[in-house]
Amino acid sequence: MRGVTTPPFAGRGAIDLGALAAARQQQEKAAVAMASAPEGVVIDVDDDTFPTAVLDQSMTVPVIIDLWATWCGPCKQLSPILERLAAEAGGRWILAKIDVDASPRVAQAFQVQSVPSVFGVVKGQPLQMFQGAQPEAQIRLVIDEVLKLAAKEGVTGVVGGPAPQADEAQDEEPLDPRFAAAFDAVEAGDWAGAAQAYRLILDATPGDLDAQAGLAMVGLYQRSESAVLHPDAPVTDVDAQLALADDEALNLDWAGAFSRLVATVRATSGTERDRTRTRLLELFLIAGDDPAVAPARTALASALF
């Protein structure tokens, strides 16, 4: 089951404010939202409490799991966004935060390859959602899909009070149908359809960073399906280095991907250098708020000039 899934890419903001400032801003927003949130909307879970806190509660209330680690930079950006969205939802779903280092059995059960990793649980059944920090608009789309599935399964309970009435739910900001079309195509693995949907958005609003990142992300996943890796290829072998950088990006090793491509920019010229630079800029869009972006931009400027 592909599940409710989108490829990893982070939101905009790091280029202008810096990853640290962006993370602090999200933490402040989350703290404000949590002050008025029902008790039990955001919970810390470990190996021992997982069966009761997650599996049992998922029978009546959708549970979204944030698998994180203390050493993970993107986790510091994503977790506060999830906390704030959980608080704003008013108990319609529970956010269960799980430190993978402190809860190895849960991490193993979900076959966690990288963090952050986010899953939904409805009636005890896991739903793969996404990996890596994501733009808030994409996170809302994924959560909305989980809630729709939960409703079909009759899981519509609310933590800390009665379920919101239909007219209250209508107060939520409607989803942009253009992004919804792109998201549906990504969920189905229809890369051509997703790319077309993002291009339609960019035709109307060329400066839309979410659409730019989405289109770059689709290209990354499309390329990955036929990629052949040559780890020992020389730095001047642009095709090989681009494929290796894609693989590192898919594994959220942004620093490794950026360093590889900057080195290739330094070692090449002309068309080959332009290809490498273009790919690096695409990966910057996908990585978004990752702390590795800012130093890599500086290194790229040095390599070019």
C-alpha separations of 88 from 11, 42, 49, 77, 84 in Å: 19, 11, 25, 18, 6
b/e map 30-51, b = 16+ CB within 10 Å: beebbeebeeebbbebeeeebe
Task: Identify the weakest region by mean pLDDT among 11-25, 34-48, 100-114, 172-186.
Answer: 11-25
Q: Is 72 a catalytic residue?
A: yes
* Residue 176 phi, psi dihedral angles, 5° rounding: -70, 115
Give the mean pLDDT of 250-270.
Answer: 93
pLDDT over 70, % of the chain: 83
pLDDT value for 181:
87
pLDDT in tens, 106-119: 999 999 889 999 99
Q: Is 228 a catalytic residue?
A: no
Token pair listed for 3: 């599940």
* Catalytic hit among 23, 75, 197, 257: 75
What's the whole-number average pLDDT of the chain? 82
Give every CB contact of residue 104 below 8 A, 6+ residues apart in sequence: 47
- Whether residue 246 is predicted with pLDDT greater than 70 in this model: the reply is yes
Where do the domains of the chain lie, and which CATH numbers do they carry?
14-175 (3.40.30.10), 179-304 (no CATH)
- Whether residue 34 is predicted with pLDDT greater than 80 in this model: the reply is no
* Catalytic hit among 72, 133, 185, 218: 72
pLDDT in tens, 54-109: 999 999 999 999 999 998 888 888 989 999 999 888 899 999 999 999 999 999 99
pLDDT band at 18 (very low <50, low <70, confident <90, very high): very low
